[in-house]
Structure 1
Amino acid sequence: MSDWGVTNTENVQSVQYCFPNNNLSCTRSIRPEAEYIIVYIFVSVTSVFTVFLNLLVIISILHFKQLHTPTNVLILSLAVADLIAGLILMPVQGMKLIEPCWYFGEIFCSIFPLILYVVVTASLGNLIIISVDRYIAVNDPLRYPLKVNTNRVIVSIVVNWLFSFIYSFYLLYESLIYPERNHTCIGECVLYVRLEYLILDSFVCLVAPCCVITSLYVKICFVANYQAKHINSVTDKKARSEKKAAKTLGIVVLVYLLCWMPYYLTTLSLGHDENDALLINIMQWIVCMNSLMNPLIYAMFYRWFRLSAKYILTLKILEPSSKYFSLFPEEQ
């Protein structure tokens, strides 16, 4: 009797119930308090910083007239996806890294993976469209204004988001219709996706886009190098500008693919094993971190973003004529 009491006390110290008043509650292991604090501070700072930077991008493109271009509309759509990631995906994914219990209810347990898939798939779609846009701008600059305009870009963005939703719903149909399959006890939220769906998703969201985007940017580099050798002084400035824009967006695409590859390599090898849930969560967090990287890349390579951010943070955008401020001053 005495031995039983000692064992029970040790279990209470090392294991707790997610919902102590519920007999169907899952159990969770106790971790050091310092570990909780460090992870939550990191997640909070990263999420806030992601939201802040992407809000700067969104406000800049919406406010300043000089930024109302088809390419920047695509960047706006990408920033909206990154903003959603910072507001919803990163905080929840961060909690899943440290907290084994799910406290957001069964409905959100089913909806959250859908939001995750829609946002990251839409981001990938935006990057593909941006790649096509840059290819046309560099390969056929004279007819670019005729082929690409704001209305066509908006239509492509709407189609991209609709496709992302339909595709994500198709992949997650079973978990959405039968949410009870996602948990065996109260406080658990595990996403199970069939291996054949994982293979399909890796082809649709990694292999095929990687081939398309890589081939486009290889062609962009060849065309840009050719133009650099044969252009005259009149078109020199425009060509250099297009080449720099293509290079910057190429870096955005490269960083995106580097964030995605670990996730797919992990899910294809371990995604069907529930014991690897923590590793899957880490890979999903790396995918979400891409939403922070994009505005940082803009800040490093786009002078217009640095200037617009300065105007926003100093509240100069409150001036009546601020939307006509020049963001492309001539370089001395």
Structure 2
Amino acid sequence: GSEADYIAPWNSEATLGEETGSPTLTELCYPNVTGSCLKAPYSPGPQLMLYTLFGVGAVLAVFGNLLVVTSILHFKQLHSPAKFLLASLASADLLVGVTVMPFSMVRSVESCWYFGPSFCTFHTCFDVAFCYSSLFHLCFISIDRYMAVTDPLVYPTKVTVSVSGICVSISWILPLAYSSAVLYTGVYDDGLEELSRALNCVGGCQTVVNQNWVLIDFLSFFIPSLIMIILYSNLFLVARQQAKKIEHTGGKTKSSLESYKSRVAKRERKAAKTLVDAYMGFITPAYIYEICCWCAYYNSVMNPLIYALFYPWFRKAIKVIVSGSVFKDHSATMNLFSEQM
């Protein structure tokens, strides 16, 4: 809303309808508290629809990503540097579903923050941190996929579990440190203290950010995004060139090396497409705050659905977990890539 919308809640008295002349009470987040924010509730129908939409999203984010993490950690066949990156990404998305989405759902539907100012800062910190963490994970995954396609024979020696662990650590430590430092030190609203106090009515959870930190946030998103765009563009060019070479090579003249490369390239192209599709959830207009937030939140829902759609090994893992067979002896060593279960 406009600035006036946020300043208006400081008046908690009843107002008269200009057209009808009948008294109408202004709805407030906290009716008995001076300086309460205005409440702009939806009618029951849209309210139920929004709670259902957002609630289902939160549930899918939690259980879908929990399946991804459980699958990769339980089945030894999935213990690889690339899969560990996916498991870490799924962990970030799972935490979005647990610590961010339920509270944002209430804020979005009720237009009020009922969880206190301290938890508002905590919630915003996690919101920012997990969003950056997902972005960093996707950036490292794009680097991993690019190396796997362009140099598949050397790739296993360059991308080890240790290297994957370093990427995971960076993807968690930097976003958490950044968001905590910025939000808990209060540097984000330097020079805008008066505006911040004016907008900080009781029942609100708005963050005012000055131009310097807007620029820093923009660069923090732009640089990893640019890296991904460049790498995936080159990846698709390389994959297309490899496909043309394979088409021009007769079946009898194919060497075992070329055959291996073709199998790797095919598998990695599918992985690249999947991850690009997942990443597209981040490219969302920022001028509508709630829409922007929920598009980002729903990106946390999309990854497990994409895996289930494109990866047979994930569908098999889900069947084993849901059926309870995961608790049987030797289930961790079963072959998820075979045609039969």
Return the TM-score normalized by structure 2.
Answer: 0.82
CA contact (8 A) 2:60 2:301 kept: yes
> Using the alignment, how far apart are the partners of 2:290 and 2:209 within structure 1?
14
Measured after TM superposition, the shift of residue 242 of structure 1 is 4.1
Measured after TM superposition, the shift of residue 202 of structure 1 is 1.9
> Using the alignment, how far apart are the partners of 1:197 and 1:245 within structure 2?
37
1:218 counterpart = 2:233: yes
- Structure-2 change in CA distance of 1:5 and 1:134 (3 Å): closer
What do the CA deviations read for 1:156-178 (whole angstroms, capped 9, x no partner)? 21122111123334543427899
CA RMSD of aligned residues (A): 2.7
For 1:250, the equivalent position in structure 2 comes to: 273
Measured after TM superposition, the shift of residue 326 of structure 1 is 0.7
For 2:200, the equivalent position in structure 1 comes to: 184
Write the mapping of 1:1-150 to structure 2, written as runs, cut at 5 A: 10-12=23-25, 15-150=26-161
> Using the alignment, how far apart are the partners of 2:16 and 2:153 within structure 1?
82
Q: Which amino acid aligns with 1:212?
A: I
CA contact (8 A) 2:242 2:265 kept: no
Write the mapping of 1:225-264 to structure 2, written as runs, cut at 5 A: 225-228=240-243, 229=245, 232=254, 234-235=256-257, 236=259, 239-256=262-279, 258-264=280-286
For 1:299, the equivalent position in structure 2 comes to: 308
What do the CA deviations read for 1:28-47 (whole angstroms, capped 9, x no partner)? 13431222211112111111
Pick aligned residue for 1:174 from 186, 205, 216: 186
What do the CA deviations read for 1:109-163 (whole angstroms, capped 9, x no partner)? 1111111111011111111111111111122222212111112211221122111
> Using the alignment, how far apart are the partners of 1:182 and 1:203 within structure 2?
29
For 1:209, the equivalent position in structure 2 comes to: 224
> Using the alignment, how far apart are the partners of 2:269 and 2:113 within structure 1?
42
SS in 1 for 2:27: strand
> Using the alignment, how far apart are the partners of 1:182 and 1:291 within structure 2?
34
> Using the alignment, how far apart are the partners of 2:88 and 2:198 within structure 1?
32
1:319 counterpart = 2:328: yes
> Using the alignment, how far apart are the partners of 1:327 and 1:182 within structure 2?
58
Q: Which amino acid aligns with 2:317?
A: S
Q: Identity of aligned pairs, percent?
A: 34
SS in 2 for 1:26: coil
CA contact (8 A) 1:111 1:176 kept: no
Measured after TM superposition, the shift of residue 94 of structure 1 is 2.0
CA contact (8 A) 2:69 2:91 kept: yes
Instruction: Name the stretch that deviates more: 143-152 or 305-314.
Output: 143-152
- Structure-2 change in CA distance of 1:155 and 1:308 (3 Å): same
Matched pairs, number: 311
Instruction: Name the stretch that deviates more: 170-179 or 115-124.
Output: 170-179
Measured after TM superposition, the shift of residue 249 of structure 1 is 3.3
Return the TM-score normalized by structure 1.
Answer: 0.85
CA contact (8 A) 2:189 2:209 kept: no
Q: Which amino acid aligns with 1:252?
A: L
Ranges in structure 2 where 5+ consecutive residues have no aligned partner: 1-13
Q: Which amino acid aligns with 2:81?
A: P
SS in 1 for 2:67: helix
Q: Which structure 1 residue ranges, 4+ long, deviate > 6 Å from structure 2?
A: 4-9, 175-180
CA contact (8 A) 2:15 2:24 kept: no
CA contact (8 A) 1:248 1:297 kept: no
Q: Which amino acid aligns with 2:272?
A: L
> Using the alignment, how far apart are the partners of 2:51 and 2:160 within structure 1?
44
